[in-house]
Amino acid sequence: MKPLTQPEHERGSSALRSLIPGVYAPWTAVALGLGILLVALPLYLLEVGLSFTATSVVLAAAGFGSFAGAIPSGGAIARFGEGRTIAISLVLAAVAIGLTATSSNPVALTTLQLAVGAAATAMRLASLTTITRSVPARGRGRANSMMGGIRRFGSFVGPLTGGVLVDQIGFNATFLIAAAVTAAGLLPLARGARCTSASDIVPERHAVGLLRALRQHRRILLLSASGPFLIMAARRGRSVLLPLVAAALEVSPTAVGVIVAIGMGADLMLFPVAGWIMDRFGRLRAIGPAFILMAIGLFVLGVVETATGVVIAGALIGVGNGLSSGTMMTLASDLAPRESPSQFIAGFSAVQDGGQMVGPLLVGVVADAFGLGASSVILGVLLLVGVGLIVATVGETISDPVHP
């Protein structure tokens, strides 16, 4: 690959700046709101007396909402545009998070988490479609790693904030604050982000139908998303597992937030590196080392018996996850056909996000039967198998990468 010329670099930087009001700013609000829930929600469920399995069912509902909402979101994006989809998603997520403060009923909480998951995936797919349409392939690694980096920022600040808020003002007020933070993402949209319509993107009479696009690309969708399915199961599972392991060591909610945030801090610092590696050396050069390191951290987490050990394992997991920032979204962008990007990305996400539903369930069921350590080891194995599937079924998706 030839080095980027100055005009190419300037075009890439300009494209990234143009994404701030309509993509990155709203995504930051959602990331912070969901980050607060990372610690507050699992601890709340345990506080009201739910078992590991029941807790994991509620937490897995967000993943199921993502899975079930992916394909309808693709159709909505193609019909109504990315901007309107993002705005509606923000409202739905904020309302669902806020209503969490009103109930301790596991069925109601599961329903609310379904809504949160559906809203988050619709917003993510709308953002990813915007990036796919507006950013060239050589810049998508950086653009998508920024999305992942923002999510990691929320996962770093959110647990710290959530742990302190729970200690100081209780669970209900913490959920209301998380809802308000999420709703704040509407401000940049209202102040200048242009809400696109379907005619701004692809006129409906020329657009490829949702079901037709999924049928046409079903083979590549299933093959390419099978590895990400396992990886997302492990990623989502470790988000649930880490605070549960810390809580099992009988530390305070604030300390749980600190432990989670340390791993997220290592994660957060590395997302720019992930984008640079993907655009410069190829997607697989980021995917392989990142998830192997993350698997090692999970294996360590499975055998530790002290809070210090959890911190070390969390840091390893965080470094690996940081180096993987934006990798799955970039694969979807690279593989998406020009005539139906939102539909293809929705199908890819539906398969991939099934892992978000499986991960927490797997953690809870295995933990109840064999302990939290066994759950951690199984998640590590899933990561290694997922990487192998990506290498075998997808390969490198960017042409002529530089080899160090």
Residue carrying structure tokens 């690309």: 217
Q: What is the mean pLDDT of the chain?
A: 82
Q: Is there a domain that residue 403 lies in?
A: no
In the prediction, which pLDDT does 195 show?
45
Q: Is there a domain that residue 404 lies in?
A: no
Q: What share of the chain is helix, strand, coil (3-state, %, to 5)?
A: 85, 0, 15
In the prediction, which pLDDT does 210 show?
62
Closest CA to 141 of 275, 11, 290: 275
Q: What is the pLDDT of residues 160-187, one digit of tens each?
A: 899 899 999 999 899 999 999 999 999 8
State yes or no: pLDDT of 4 exceeds 50: no
Closest CA to 154 of 45, 41, 231, 267: 267
Which ranges of 170-209 does DSSP label H, i.e. alpha helix?
Answer: 171-183, 186-190, 198-201
Q: Is there a domain that residue 374 lies in?
A: yes
Do residues 88 and 141 make contact, with C-beta atoms less than 8 angstroms apart?
Answer: no
In the prediction, which pLDDT does 88 show?
93
pLDDT more than 90, % of the chain: 25
* 8-state DSSP, 332: H
Q: Is there a domain that residue 135 lies in?
A: yes
In the prediction, which pLDDT does 399 show?
67
- pLDDT class for 133, splitting at 50, 70, 90? confident
Q: Is there a domain that residue 335 lies in?
A: yes
Full domain range(s) for residue 282: 6-393
Q: Range with the lowest mean pLDDT among 50-64, 192-206, 348-362?
A: 192-206
Q: Is there a domain that residue 251 lies in?
A: yes
Structure tokens at 296: 């090692």
Q: Is there a domain that residue 385 lies in?
A: yes
In the prediction, which pLDDT does 208 show?
52
In the prediction, which pLDDT does 247 show?
77
Angle at 312 between CA 310 and CA 318, to 5 degrees: 100
Q: In the predicted model, what is the mean pLDDT of residues 357-361?
A: 83
If one counts the domains in the chain, the total is 1
> Quick count: other Cβ atoms within 10 Å of Cβ 194?
12
349 against 194, higher pLDDT: 349
Measured distance CA(318)–CA(323) in Å, rounded: 9
Q: What is the pLDDT of residues 198-247, one digit of tens each?
A: 434 444 444 456 667 677 777 777 788 889 999 999 998 988 888 788 77
Measured distance CA(44)–CA(104) in Å, rounded: 9
Half-sphere exposure of 129 (CA within 13 A, CB side): 36
In the prediction, which pLDDT does 141 show?
86
Structure tokens at 289: 């080392």
State yes or no: pLDDT of 70 exceeds 80: yes
Cα 347 to Cα 7, 242, 341: the distances in Å are 35, 30, 10
Count of all residues that appear for the chain in the document: 404
Q: State phi, psi for 336 to the nearest 5 degrees.
A: -65, 130
Q: What is the pLDDT of residues 340-356, one digit of tens each?
A: 777 888 888 888 877 87
Query: pTM of the predicted model, to two decimals?
Result: 0.76
In the prediction, which pLDDT does 32 show?
94
Which ranges of 6-105 does DSSP label H, i.e. alpha helix?
Answer: 6-18, 25-47, 52-80, 82-99
pLDDT more than 70, % of the chain: 88
Measured distance CA(191)–CA(198) in Å, rounded: 21
In the prediction, which pLDDT does 14 show?
66
Where residue 36 sits, what CATH number does that domain have? Answer: 1.20.1250.20
Q: Is there a domain that residue 402 lies in?
A: no
Do residues 324 and 290 make contact, with C-beta atoms less than 8 angstroms apart?
Answer: yes
- Residue type for position 145: S
In the prediction, which pLDDT does 236 show?
85
